[in-house]
Amino acid sequence: MTKLLLPDYSRVVLTGETDPIQRHYQPVVRYFMNRRLTMALALIGDRRFRRLLDAGYGGGVFLPELARHADALHGVDIHPHEADVARMAQAEGLRVELRRASVTSTGYPDGYFDAIVCVSVLEFVDDLAGAMGELHRVAAPGATVVLAFPGENVLTTLGYRLARTPDPRRVHRANYRTILAEAGRRFALRRLLRFPSFVPSRLALFFAVELTRPGS
């Protein structure tokens, strides 16, 4: 597994009921939680981008890694704790611009980013089409877009229960099928990873996809 750089646990910020940031540090559970991030990193590879957006940054657990891949790192989220996360990022030595905004309305100009990363966010969004349209709008032609989201089956439901996270049937608004379908209407698919890799999609715990915004 790709080695993952996380913020110091003493600095992490819990931003809400569905924020699983503390579970990235807990024995056993952290393997599965961090697997989502390493899958996204595998799709990014060793590339570095001019401007990268963490769409739905949560408590900022992925910011240290994403900062390695961006000249300018930005993040949007709807929670009101951007100042707390910004202090954590500063203590970690990171330069990042955070703003309180939705993935359906980021406030950035058209074509502003040459990379967008969105991990464990889209399944919570009421307006999935609006979110995908906004990501498409702020992505530059040819931009790399990495999305990661859970599967939906008896194994994922059991996993959420064992991790003591909110029941996905109560908090998730979209599943992997609808996310993939909506993404396909806006972006071109480059690569799809699933975990575990040896199971069919209907039994996968998590997915990560690399997309590109068509155009030149």
Q: Which domains does the chain have, with CATH numbers?
A: 9-212 (3.40.50.150)
What does the buried/exposed string (b/e) look like for 79-97 if buried means 16 or more CB atoms within 10 Å of the residue's CB? bebbebbbebbeebebebe
Q: Which residues contact 85 (CB under 8 A, 6 or more apart)?
A: 13, 15, 57, 59, 60, 63, 75, 98
Span 39-85, pLDDT tens digits: 999 999 999 999 999 999 999 999 999 999 999 999 999 999 999 99
Strand order in the sheet with 113-119: 96-100, 70-77, 49-55, 113-119, 139-150, 206-212, 188-195
Cα gap 181→99, rounded to integer Å: 28
Span 123-163, pLDDT tens digits: 988 899 999 999 999 999 999 999 999 887 555 555 555 55
How confident is the prediction for the chain on average, in pLDDT? 89
Stretch 1-9: mean pLDDT, rounded? 81
The model's pTM is 0.91
